[in-house]
Amino acid sequence: METTDIIIKIVLVVIIFAISLVIAMYSTYAERKVAAFFQDRVGPNRAGPWGILQPLADGGKMFLKEEIIPSSASGILFIVGPSLAILTACIGSAVIPWGQKLTIGSTVIDLQVTDINVGILYIFGVVSLGVYGIMIGGWASNNKYSLLGAIRAASQNISYEISMGLSIIALLLVTGSLSLREIAEQQHGFWADGWFTWNVFKQPLGFLIFIVCAFAETNRTPFDLPECETELVGGYHTEYSSMKLGFYLFAEYINMFISSAVMATLYFGGYNFPFMDMINSPNLVTILGVVFLFGKIFMFIFFFMWIRWTIPRFRYDQLMNLGWKGLIPLAIANIVITGVVITFLN
Amino acid sequence: MGTFYFIAFLSVCFSLLVITARNPVHSILYLILTFFTFTIHYILLNAQFLAVVNFIVYMGAILVLFLYTLMLMNLNKDNEPVKPAIVKIAAVFGGGCLLVTLIASLKTLGTSQPVVLNNPNLGLVKPLGKVLFNEFLLPFEVSSLLLLSAMVGAVLLATKDKQTKTI
**How confident is residue A44, by pLDDT bands cut at 50, 70 and 90?**
confident
**How confident is residue B142, by pLDDT bands cut at 50, 70 and 90?**
very high
Q: Is A77 on the interface with B (CB under 8 A)?
A: yes
CA angle, corner A296, sides to A292 and A300, nearest 5? 165
CB contact set of A84 (below 8 Å; sequence gap of 6+): A129, A132, A133, A136
Q: Is B89 exposed, middle or buried (0-12, 13-18, 19+ CB in 10 A)?
A: exposed
The CA–CA distances, whole Å, from A56 to A18, A46, A66 equal 15, 12, 18
First to last CA, chain B: 65
Please name the member of A124, A128, A154 whose beta carbon is closest to the beta carbon of B68: A154
CA A174 to chain centre: 23
User: Phi and psi dihedrals of A183, rounded to 5?
Assistant: -60, -40
**DSSP SS3 for A134:** helix
User: Phi and psi dihedrals of A70, rounded to 5?
Assistant: -60, 145
- The answer to which of A329-343, B48-62, B151-165 has the lowest mean pLDDT is B151-165
Max mean pLDDT range (A14-18, A148-152, B82-86): A14-18
User: Phi and psi dihedrals of A148, rounded to 5?
Assistant: -60, -40
In this predicted complex, what is the ipTM? 0.78
Please name the member of A125, A139, A155 whose beta carbon is closest to the beta carbon of B56: A125
Interatomic CA distance for residues A99 and A92, integer angstroms: 16
Q: What is the DSSP string of A207-274?
A: HHHHHHHHHHHTT-TTS-GGG-HHHHTTGGGTT--HHHHHHHHHHHHHHHHHHHHHHHHHHS-TT--T
Q: Does CATH number 1.20.120.1200 belong to domain B2-135?
A: yes
Q: Report CB contact under 8 Å: A118, B52.
A: yes
**How confident is residue B146, by pLDDT bands cut at 50, 70 and 90?**
very high
- The answer to which of A8-17, A81-90, A98-107, A155-164 has the lowest mean pLDDT is A98-107
**How confident is residue B97, by pLDDT bands cut at 50, 70 and 90?**
very high
Q: What is the pLDDT of residue A103?
A: 77
Q: What is the DSSP string of chain B?
A: -HHHHHHHHHHHHHHHHHHH-SSHHHHHHHHHHHHHHHHHHHHHTT-HHHHHHIIIIIIIIIHHHHHHHHHHS---GGGPPPPPHHHHHHHHHHHHHHHHHHHHHHHT--PPPPPPPS-TTTTSHHHHHHHHHHTTHHHHHHHHHHHHHHHHHHHHHHHHHHHHHH-
Evaluate if residue B109 carries a pLDDT over 80.
no
**DSSP SS3 for A96:** coil
Interatomic CA distance for residues A330 and A164, integer angstroms: 11
Give contacts of A 1-40 with B, CB under 8 A: none
Nearest Cα to Cα of residue A182 among A102, A97, A103: A97
If residue A162 lies in a helix (H) or strand (E), which one and from where to where?
Answer: helix A144-175
How do beta strands A191-192 and A101-104 pair?
Answer: unpaired
Q: What is the pLDDT of residue B79?
A: 62
For an interface test with B, the pick among A114, A132, A161 (most B C-beta atoms closer than 10 Å) comes out as A132
Q: Report CB contact under 8 Å: A125, B59.
A: yes
Identify whether the C-beta of residue A30 lies closer than 8 Å to the C-beta of residue A256. Answer: no
Question: What's the average model confidence in pLDDT over A220-240?
Answer: 75
Q: What is the pLDDT of residue B165?
A: 53
Q: Pick B35 or B82 by higher pLDDT.
A: B35
**How confident is residue B98, by pLDDT bands cut at 50, 70 and 90?**
very high
Evaluate if residue B163 carries a pLDDT over 80.
no
Q: Give long-range contacts, CB 8 A cutoff, 24+ apart: A195-200.
A: A197/A269, A197/A272, A198/A267, A198/A268, A198/A269, A198/A272, A199/A171, A199/A174, A199/A175, A199/A266, A199/A267, A199/A268, A199/A269, A200/A267, A200/A268
Please name the member of B29, B53, B61 whose beta carbon is closest to the beta carbon of A158: B61
**How confident is residue B50, by pLDDT bands cut at 50, 70 and 90?**
confident
Q: What is the pLDDT of residue A1?
A: 61
Identify whether the C-beta of residue B28 lies closer than 8 Å to the C-beta of residue B70. Answer: yes
The CA–CA distances, whole Å, from A291 to A15, A86, A181, A285, A297 equal 15, 26, 17, 10, 10
**How confident is residue B75, by pLDDT bands cut at 50, 70 and 90?**
low
**DSSP SS3 for A41:** coil
Identify whether the C-beta of residue A235 lies closer than 8 Å to the C-beta of residue A145. Answer: yes
Taking CB atoms and an 8 Å cutoff, what residues of chain A touch B120? Answer: none
Give contacts of A 118-157 with B, CB under 8 A: 118, 121-122, 124-125, 127-129, 131-132, 135-136, 139, 147, 150-151, 154-155, 157
Identify whether the C-beta of residue A122 lies closer than 8 Å to the C-beta of residue A116. Answer: yes
Q: Is A320 exposed, middle or buried (0-12, 13-18, 19+ CB in 10 A)?
A: middle
- Which residues lie across from A101 on neighbouring strands? A110
Question: What's the average model confidence in pLDDT over A248-259?
Answer: 87
Evaluate if residue A273 carries a pLDDT over 60.
yes
Q: What is the pLDDT of residue B20?
A: 86
Q: Report CB contact under 8 Å: B60, A116.
A: no
Give chain A's mean pLDDT.
84
List chain A domain ranges: 3-345
Identify whether the C-beta of residue A232 lies closer than 8 Å to the C-beta of residue A224. Answer: no
List chain B domain ranges: 2-135, 136-167
Evaluate if residue B149 carries a pLDDT over 70.
yes
How confident is the model over A106-132, as pLDDT tens digits? Answer: 777 777 777 777 888 888 888 888 888
Taking CB atoms and an 8 Å cutoff, what residues of chain A touch B64? Answer: 128, 131-132, 135, 154, 157-158
How confident is the model over A138-160, as pLDDT tens digits? Answer: 888 888 888 888 888 888 888 88
Question: What's the average model confidence in pLDDT over A159-168?
Answer: 87
CB contact set of A153 (below 8 Å; sequence gap of 6+): A131, A134, A135, A138, A219, A225, A226, A235, A236
Taking CB atoms and an 8 Å cutoff, what residues of chain B touch A117? Answer: 48, 124-125
- The answer to which of A161-175, A224-238, B98-112 has the lowest mean pLDDT is A224-238
Q: In the 8-state DSSP scheme, what is residue A66?
A: P
Evaluate if residue B154 carries a pLDDT over 70.
yes
